[in-house]
Structure 1
Amino acid sequence: MENSRFAVISDSSCDLPDELTAAKEITVVPFYVSFDGETYKKEGTEIGIREFYREMVEQPGVYPKSSMPSIQDYVDVFQPFAQAHIPVLCICITTKFSGSMQSALNAKEMVLSQYEDAQIEVIDATVNTVLQGLFVLEAVSMREEGMTLSEAVAALDEIKESGRIFFTIGSMDYYSMAEESEKWPFAASVLGIRPIITLKRGRYFKRNIEEQKKIDR
């Protein structure tokens, strides 16, 4: 019979508070972030989420860089669960934004080469930040309801397609860096227009309000 008490793991893109991850028994594998391009700190342990965003606000001309978790980072997390015969569900930031999931998949193969009976499922959240956090919490709820690992994976695959984030931005500076080939960020900044941006299925959509309504039907 499959063990229903599986471990829930996510990379730190889920942006869940430390108190919540501890209370819900969620293991977080940190990204690395840097504000000087040289010194990288582990997100969530060496630099907190609030501290990271505060640095962005206080240093508007400095653009932080990030580095994904390494294969070894994931191996170090997966291995103790494999040794204890505890199934693992690992939820990673959308592959459109990071190679974190590929690190996790490579780590899975390394661990399975040592522990052939280990159960490790790695899935793409197709989103990030707050919605990824909610997706992770949904996995925890499924565990608490007694679902097995395979049942939880199937259920999560059904609901993740409906997830999306709507947001706007206070400054076009960061978006301009990501959209160098487009002229609209400059025009929007000059005109004082704040676009509505949707993150859906791992992709950004720039639309006005009426177009957004059509996307979400």
Structure 2
Amino acid sequence: MSIKIITDSTSYIPKELIEKYDISICPLNVIFQGQSYDETTMDRTAFYEKIIVASDIPTSSQPSLEDFYKIFEKQVVANNSIVGIFLSSDMSGTYSSANLVKEMILDKYPDAKIEIVDSKTNSMQMGYAALAAARAAEEGKTIEEVLEAVEKIKARSRFLFVPNTLDYLKKGGRIGGASALIGAFLQIRPILTVEDGKTSVFTKVRTRKKAIDAMIEAFKNDINKKELGEVIVHHINSEADGKELAKRVEEIVNRKVEISDIGPVIGLHVGPGTVGIAYYTKNPLR
């Protein structure tokens, strides 16, 4: 019997790490112009090009119960225990659906061992929690020790990101129209983060360049005080900006920094051109 890790597609874990640790991914979907798309297979560049000119706003939807059930059952039938780590329950019904499917599985397989964790975040801040679980499982740790590894990362991780425009936050109802208008006029750029399961403003500065500089300074301050574990750069359909940010981070940490593009489910709420840093430290941040 092994412990297998299941997470959802909004973790945006690099493919090679998903394969290395045999992590199962439940895909979320994007609803756009009357059609539903699996975000793991859709053409991301084409999607972002379309939403720039589209009048209607895309929405996202959680994995279907059927998809969840198939992924869970596959592991249970193979006599594996499951630790599932999912998108913040304040952002999606994915965590709730995972718990529902857990009960459905237990009805049929009463001896199954399944633990479901609310990551309280998304993107690679969640991805690092899933990777910590997978590494602990690979080391032969108990399911309790795997869950402990997840909680340690939750207390030591942060995700900071800078949107290119406030328009998508306005469309999604994250900020009011007046705030978006004033922000655009004054060139105000918030640095956003995720705390207690919700997107919040880390700080605000004027101009995107200053926002990116401030984000890097916040990262430096964290790792100087708490010591770096791992770091990755995120971008939303802005590879050149992602590479530039990664280069700056590499100069600080003296190591190769991987880049992971954020998919449409999270991207549609923040918009193309967004860049960010997800990382965890060796000592607790909170």
CA contact (8 A) 1:87 1:119 kept: yes
More strand by share: 2
Matched, 1:61 2:53: yes
Matched, 1:20 2:14: no
Matched, 1:150 2:144: yes
- CA–CA separation in structure 1 for the residues paired with 2:45 and 2:32: 11
- Structure 2 counterpart of 1:125: 119
Tell me the SS of whatever aligns to 2:188.
Answer: coil
Matched, 1:140 2:130: no
Q: Which runs of 5+ in 2 are unaligned?
A: 206-213, 219-284
TM-score normalised to the size of structure 2?
Answer: 0.66
- Structure 2 counterpart of 1:202: 197
- CA–CA separation in structure 2 for the residues paired with 1:111 and 1:6: 16
CA deviations 1:141-177 (Å, max 9, x no partner) are 1112221212111231233133221111111110112
- Structure 2 counterpart of 1:40: 36
- CA–CA separation in structure 1 for the residues paired with 2:74 and 2:23: 14
- Structure 2 counterpart of 1:95: 89
Q: How does 1:171-186 map to 2 (within 5 A)?
A: 171-177=165-171, 178-181=173-176, 183-186=178-181
Deviates further, 99-108 or 130-139:
130-139
Matched, 1:169 2:155: no
- Structure 1 counterpart of 2:69: 75
- Which among 29, 52, 59 is matched to residue 44 of structure 2? 52
CA deviations 1:22-42 (Å, max 9, x no partner) are 232011010111331x11121
Q: Name the amino acid aligned to 1:199.
A: V
Residues 52, 91 of structure 1: alpha-carbon distance in 2 compared, 3 angstrom cutoff: same
- Structure 2 counterpart of 1:188: 183
- CA–CA separation in structure 1 for the residues paired with 2:111 and 2:188: 55
- Structure 1 counterpart of 2:268: none
Aligned CA RMSD, in angstroms, stands at 2.5
Residues 164, 200 of structure 1: alpha-carbon distance in 2 compared, 3 angstrom cutoff: farther
- CA–CA separation in structure 2 for the residues paired with 1:81 and 1:189: 49
Paired residue total: 208
- CA–CA separation in structure 1 for the residues paired with 2:132 and 2:174: 33
Residues 182, 205 of structure 1: alpha-carbon distance in 2 compared, 3 angstrom cutoff: farther
Identity of aligned residues (%): 28
Q: Which runs of 5+ in 1 are unaligned?
A: none
TM-score normalised to the size of structure 1?
Answer: 0.85
Report the Cα offset of residue 202 of structure 1: 1.1
Tell me the SS of whatever aligns to 1:157.
Answer: helix
CA contact (8 A) 1:139 1:156 kept: yes
